[in-house]
Structure 1
Amino acid sequence: FYPAAYKNIAVQLQNSTFAHLHKHPMFSKTEQQQRKQKGEWLSGSFKPENFIPGLVIGFICGFLIDLSKPTRNHLSKKIFSSNNKLQHQLSVSSNADQELKMVLVVRQDLKMRSGKIASQCAHAATGMYAELTQSNRSLLRHWEQCGQPKIVVTCKNQQEMNKLKETAESVGLPTFVVADAGRTQVSAGSKTVLAVGPGPKAIVDSVTGRLALL
């Protein structure tokens, strides 16, 4: 009996002691000071002098990020131009009655042998085919329905080839230039063959019609 009674008395004393300490003025004063400090910190954090530096830094960072992207407008213009050419090619190929053809332009000044010319023309045709598979499949299908006609002609040099390429692209014709690896006969990077088309026969002839057959 006695140990249990002593235990109950000890518990009651402990509870009364904690309750007395909790109500002690020292504790209430400490709590008031903590609440006051917290309120002062919150009110101070919302002062204008604390906000203005952050706003200025954010504005400067945003301005520098915009300056670090100077090519965005250039890229959008390039994409817009490519879309215009693609639309023109689609309109060109919309008439199923038109005959399409491809012309392969070979440089004479490189003096390539027959076997080399044949391989370079094959590179030009397959390269153009691969590009059209990604960019204009309707034009490619139309050309296939026509029997994939191809004609090989010659040009004098690199300068004439460049002019032909520019003229073809200006009227909406696709082009592809073969740059040789330089393993045989010609130096590495030499532009050997230009593929023009496929496109409507009349438009292709307006670009390459004056060139001599190989």
Structure 2
Amino acid sequence: MKQAIVVRTDIGMGKGKLAAQAAHASLKAYESAHTKTQSEWKQGGQKKVVLKVSSEREIHELADKARREGLPNAVISDAGHTQLEPGTVTALAVGPGEENLVDRVTGDLSLL
């Protein structure tokens, strides 16, 4: 079991902002997973990987692929209270899910 968290590098988020957005994505996708998936992922150590993309378009394309694979996923848009304009898409979490399925969606991306 694995979860991939994908963040945008083209919008100039600071390190703290990026970490917060990744955490939002992780939790939201986890909450949308089936109870059995949640349990298996937690018991397996909650494996995560953080990856990068350089556009909002890529986030939405990956979210579409995740939906087609039947994976829980969450696209995060910023509230706009600090560094970014309201509604700016910042991150995506794919999974938790079977590692091979998550890799079908995110396996070609580079680590952050």
Structure 2 residue 76 is the aligned partner of structure 1 residue 175: no
1:128 to partner: Cα distance? 1.9
Secondary structure in 2 matching 1:187: coil
1:111 to partner: Cα distance? 1.4
- Equivalent in the alignment of 1:191: 89
Secondary structure in 1 matching 2:32: helix
- Equivalent in the alignment of 1:137: 35
Secondary structure in 2 matching 1:152: strand
Rg larger for = 1
1:155 to partner: Cα distance? 0.8
- Which has more helix, going by share of residues? 1
Structure 2 residue 7 is the aligned partner of structure 1 residue 109: no
Identity of matched residues, %: 43
1:91-131 deviation per Cα after TM superposition (whole angstroms, max 9, x unaligned)? xxxxxxxxx00000001111111111011111111222333
In 2: Cα distance, 1:205 partner to 1:175 partner: 13
1:147-186 deviation per Cα after TM superposition (whole angstroms, max 9, x unaligned)? 1111100011011111101011101111111111101111
Q: Work out which structure has the larger RCO, using CA pairs closer than 8 Å and 6 or more positions apart in sequence.
A: 2
- Which has more strand, going by share of residues? 2
| Structure 2 contact 32–72 (Cα < 8 Å) conserved | no
In 1: Cα distance, 2:21 partner to 2:58 partner: 18
- Equivalent in the alignment of 2:23: 122
- Equivalent in the alignment of 2:59: 161
| Structure 2 contact 52–111 (Cα < 8 Å) conserved | yes
- Equivalent in the alignment of 1:38: none
- Taking structure 1 as the reference length, what is the TM-score of the superposition? 0.51
| Corresponding letter in the other structure for 2:94 | V
1:8-67 deviation per Cα after TM superposition (whole angstroms, max 9, x unaligned)? xxxxxxxxxxxxxxxxxxxxxxxxxxxxxxxxxxxxxxxxxxxxxxxxxxxxxxxxxxxx
Structure 1 stretches of 4+ moved >4 Å: none
CA RMSD of aligned residues (A): 1.0
Secondary structure in 2 matching 1:105: strand
Q: Tell me the matched-pair count.
A: 112
